[in-house]
Amino acid sequence: MTKELDHGRTNAAQGSRIDAYVDRYAARAAGMVASEIRALFAVASRPEVVSLAGGMPYVTALPLDLVGELVADLVATRGSVALQYGSGQGDLALREQICEVMRMEGIEAGPDDVVVTVGSQQALDLITRIFIDPGDVVLAEGPSYVGALGTFSAYQAKVVHIAMDDHGLIPESLEETISAVQAAGERIKFLYTIPTFQNPAGVTLNEVRRRQVLEICRRAGVLVVEDNPYGLLGFDREPLRAMRADDPEGVVYLGSFSKTLAPGFRVGWALAPHAVRQKLVLAMESAVLSHSSFTQLAVGQYLATQPWREQIKSFRELYRERRDAMLAALDVLMPPGCTWTRPGGGFFVWATLPEGLDSKAMLPRAVAERVAFVPGTGFYTDGDGKRHMRLSYCYPEPDRIREGVRRLAGVVEQELQLRDTFGTGSMPGHVGVDTPGPDLA
Amino acid sequence: MSDIGHVLVLAGGLSYEREVSIRSGRRVAEALRSAGVDVEIRDTDATLVPAVLSDPPDVAFVTLHGGAGEDGAIRSVLELLGVPYVGATPDACRVAYDKPTAKAVVRSWGLNTPDSVALPKETFHDLGAAAVLGRIVDRLGLPLFVKPSRGGSALGASIVRTAEELPAAMVGCFAYGDTTLIEKYVEGVEVSVSVVDLGDGPVALPPVEIVADGGVYDYAARYTAGRTEFFAPARLTQEATEACAAMAVAAHAALGLRDLSRTDIIVDETGRPYFLEVNVAPGMTETSLLPMAVEAGGRDLGALCTSLLEVAVRRG
């Protein structure tokens, strides 16, 4: 029997939510929703669009034929190991090679303290899993790597951002924030930092500040998680000394072959104090049993047989040329009022728009003009970042970068006119993730 | 296998709704394959024309949303290539896709649609936004619904409840298009009525009622399963249901549409329907309204799409 309601409506059967499990998801899944901003990146994957949005390394520069031979040889000669389960901690020979790689940044460590992970992203996930209870505080640079923020949010951590400037995280801001958080009775579990060629800001924590940050965290009993995927990709100098090199007990170091070799292998690692490492191995086993033996051995074979240091140098040259192309184009083309960082390595420039502009409101127009970037809001958990955008130069060739910046400059001009017309450059808020998936160039 | 021959499903494109279109295309292709149809799914890029010329399909199904998929452009190209297709002609698409024009046409046919004004951004720039917006609020009142004059998936659309919210809504709207449609917002039940014509005249499928969490059927509510509750058929009285069906069929006819369309309607507290907009390439994703209506009507999506393709093939 139906009952007549307002709106010429009857009270009929229950509706459908398309999802039979809608009431059963964990609270941590609440933010996992479709996003119009993210949908725009689907357009950015088309070749007509110059994408300055993604962070894909330029793997085409690798000697792919040699890598192919190496992989074929691996299966032919060591297939029974490569195609079998491995240990939760990772292949021992590879862990020894990883220690050799880390030595380039001043780290002295043994293979027992290394855990090989599925990219450094999994190391982040495991660390968060073993340290974070819902509501615990993670300190992170503002802005910070979106993949890390996503992981922290998935474990229901509260992220508190620490201000940065052109020299990286500001120690005074760190100290003040730690005091304020502790005074509020909240528990800080760790500081997450990308000290070298930071994603997304492109800036590097200088040596003086590295010591200060370590000292502040040591005094406050805060563990430092040093994420260093870009450390070997400096353009103008030898690799900086890692923070871990100066504080083996206070720092968990995350490394990756995604940028120095190829992300498709999904090989990263964590170097951790002994007790933390033990828990990471158990957490690793509960997550995936063991990493892929096949890709671990492939990376090991590559390191053992190929001139990998030379390859990293050639990547540096390639990315330096692209960085130069982007900075030169920005200098010439961007309207007054825009500023940007000048990275000494890595993949990203962090640009700031004139007062009143909203990079998220600008993205649809940019996509219509066939250029894409990542709005700054994706790199904060607190809604900050509207006036910023991340521009990556790692994937497009220099001519495309220049063309992309030319288009972007035109879009900024249009946004300025809109701001002047309406007295605001911001649009109403929306929900969802503002950053592209990992497979966007 | 079906005897329709080789079917080309077009999906993707360069509009803001590319991702939705890809999902729609896959869904249609899957439904057709399960009905035994030989299907190829393609993006609309520089390879399309040479590919169609070298291996012409027998018929095309356009699941491109926004831009070229709905403004008639791709259909014009299909006509140039001599490929029959499901759906409205380019001329009809051009009229239907432009929301202010479509409103004017259906209003001239006596259909009820909220009062509105459509203005390009230059007007605000040249005449001063504050003065123009102030006059709009005076004339149309509040709340208002702001959306781009073209496009879909609620991109750039927002409800404005106070005059202070209007400038930000305009910026959000102009992010997705150069002309805005500002409509008097009608509070009521949101329903969507799909219309299909399998050669015997347009027929309305059961209306689908949309109840979005938080009351706003935005992008997240549209494409995140679970964020919106759908009632198919809508919880309307017989009288209101019939009025909505009649409105959708009349809009389909008034705009000269063919094969299928979807009309979005608001039913106010008195049971009176208001035409909001019509879609010539309705969404076909897992959370889209037309497939729900098809199911509520006791039909199978694959069988319906096959019938629509047969109509298109016969038409040639």
Average pLDDT of the residues of chain A: 93
Q: For A213-228, what is each residue's pLDDT tens digit?
A: 999 999 999 999 999 9
> What's the CA gap between B259 and B60, in Å, rounded?
13
Grouping H, G, I as helix, E, B as strand and the rest as coil, residue B60 is strand
Nearest to B219 by CA among A42, A24, A374: A42
What tokens does B72 get? 């008639």
Q: Residue B71: its pLDDT value, please?
A: 95
Q: Rounded to the nearest 10 degrees, how much is the dihedral formed by the CA atoms of B301, B305, B308, B310?
A: -130
CB contact residues (below 8 A), chain A span 345-384, against chain B: 358, 361-365, 367
> What's the CA gap between A193 and A188, in Å, rounded?
14
Are the C-beta atoms of A254 and A272 separated by less than 8 Å? no
Q: Which of A300-314, A320-334, A426-440, B197-211 has the lowest mean pLDDT?
A: A426-440
What is the CA A251 to chain-centroid distance, rounded? 19
Give backbone dihedrals phi and psi of A39, rounded to 5 degrees, phi first: -65, -30
**Chain B residues within an 8 Å CB radius of A12:** 231, 233, 235
> What's the CA gap between A142 and A128, in Å, rounded?
19
Q: Residue A429: its pLDDT value, please?
A: 74
Q: How confident is the model over A124-153, as a mean pLDDT?
A: 96
> What's the CA gap between A106 and A354, in Å, rounded?
41
Give backbone dihedrals phi and psi of A163, rounded to 5 degrees, phi first: -65, 150
CA end-to-end distance (rounded Å), chain A:
57
Q: Which of B153, B175, B292 sits opposite A427 (nearest CB)?
A: B175
Q: How confident is the model over B240-256, as a mean pLDDT?
A: 98
Q: What is the ipTM of this complex?
A: 0.89
Q: Residue B217: its pLDDT value, please?
A: 86
Task: Tally DSSP H helices, then E strands, for chain B.
Answer: 12, 13
Q: Residue A432: its pLDDT value, please?
A: 65
Percent composition of chain B: helix, strand, coil (DSSP 3-state, to 5): 40, 20, 35
Q: Give the pLDDT band (50/70/90) at residue B214.
A: confident
Q: Residue A7: its pLDDT value, please?
A: 58
Q: Give the pLDDT band (50/70/90) at residue A164.
A: very high
> What's the CA gap between B135 and A265, in Å, rounded?
61
**Chain A residues within an 8 Å CB radius of B268:** 7
Q: Give the pLDDT band (50/70/90) at residue B240.
A: very high
Q: For A395-414, what is each residue's pLDDT tens digit?
A: 999 999 999 999 999 999 99
Answer yes or no: do B155 and A362 touch at CB < 8 A. Answer: no
Q: Give the pLDDT band (50/70/90) at residue A430.
A: low
Average pLDDT of the residues of chain B: 95
Among the listed residues B15, B21, B192, B288, the single catalytic one is B288
Answer yes or no: do A426 and B171 touch at CB < 8 A. Answer: yes
What tokens does B221 get? 């509510």
Mutate to test the interface with B, among A17, A21, A421, A433 (most CBs of B within 10 A): A421
DSSP per-residue codes, B233-283: S-SB-HHHHHHHHHHHHHHHHHTT--SEEEEEEEE-TTS-EEEEEEESS--
Q: Residue B2: its pLDDT value, please?
A: 65
Q: Residue A5: its pLDDT value, please?
A: 46
**Segments of A143-237 assigned E as strands:** 158-165, 168-169, 188-193, 223-227
> What's the CA gap between A136 and A185, in Å, rounded?
11
Percent composition of chain A: helix, strand, coil (DSSP 3-state, to 5): 45, 15, 40
Q: Residue A166: its pLDDT value, please?
A: 95
> What's the CA gap between A198 and A203, in Å, rounded?
5
Answer yes or no: do B175 and A417 touch at CB < 8 A. Answer: no
B288 is catalytic: yes
Are the C-beta atoms of B262 and B280 separated by less than 8 Å? no
Q: Residue A2: its pLDDT value, please?
A: 38
Mutate to test the interface with A, among B48, B210, B219 (most CBs of A within 10 A): B219
Nearest to B170 by CA among B146, B152, B197, B151: B146
Grouping H, G, I as helix, E, B as strand and the rest as coil, residue B120 is strand
Q: Which of B14, B235, B272 sits opposite A9 (nearest CB)?
A: B235
**Chain A residues within an 8 Å CB radius of B227:** 17, 33
Q: How confident is the model over B32-57, as a mean pLDDT?
A: 96
Residue whose tokens read 């992170």? A140
> What's the CA gap between A28 and A186, in Å, rounded?
20
Helices (H), B8-72: 18-34, 48-54
**Cα separations (Å) of A100 from A174, A312, A342?**
32, 14, 30
* B151/A297: higher pLDDT: A297
> What's the CA gap between A349 and B245, in Å, rounded?
54
Q: Give the pLDDT band (50/70/90) at residue B108.
A: very high
Are the C-beta atoms of A367 and A43 separated by less than 8 Å? yes
* A425/B185: higher pLDDT: B185
Q: Give the pLDDT band (50/70/90) at residue A1.
A: very low
Q: How confident is the model over A229-239, as a mean pLDDT?
A: 94
Amino acid at A394: C
* Count of other CB atoms within 10 angstroms of residue A179: 11
Grouping H, G, I as helix, E, B as strand and the rest as coil, residue A269 is strand
Three-state secondary structure string covering A281-338: HHHHHHHHCCCCHHHHHHHHHHHHHCCHHHHHHHHHHHHHHHHHHHHHHHHHHCCCCC
Q: Residue A156: its pLDDT value, please?
A: 94
Q: Which of A29-33, B178-182, B297-301 has the lowest mean pLDDT?
A: A29-33
Is A423 in CB contact (< 8 Å) with chain B? Answer: yes
Is the per-residue pLDDT at A110 higher than 80? yes
Q: Residue A3: its pLDDT value, please?
A: 39
* Count of other CB atoms within 10 angstroms of residue B254: 20
> What's the CA gap between B308 and B258, in Å, rounded?
10
Are the C-beta atoms of A396 and A51 separated by less than 8 Å? yes
Q: For B45-102, what is each residue's pLDDT tens digit?
A: 999 999 999 999 999 999 999 989 999 999 999 999 999 999 999 999 999 999 999 9
Are the C-beta atoms of A352 and A388 separated by less than 8 Å? yes
Q: What angle do CA A307, A309, A310 make, to 5 degrees?
A: 65
Is the per-residue pLDDT at B192 higher than 80? yes
Task: State what percent of residues in chain B have pLDDT above 70.
Answer: 99
Q: Which of B153, B171, B219 sits opposite A427 (nearest CB)?
A: B171
Q: For A16-27, what is each residue's pLDDT tens digit?
A: 888 888 888 988
Q: How far is B314 from chain A (nearest CA, A)?
A: 35
> What's the CA gap between B137 and B162, in Å, rounded?
9
Q: For B127-167, what is each residue's pLDDT tens digit?
A: 999 999 999 999 999 999 999 999 888 899 999 999 999 99
Are the C-beta atoms of B171 and B121 separated by less than 8 Å? no
* A279/A54: higher pLDDT: A279
What tokens does B260 get? 């299928």
Answer yes or no: do A42 and B188 touch at CB < 8 A. Answer: no
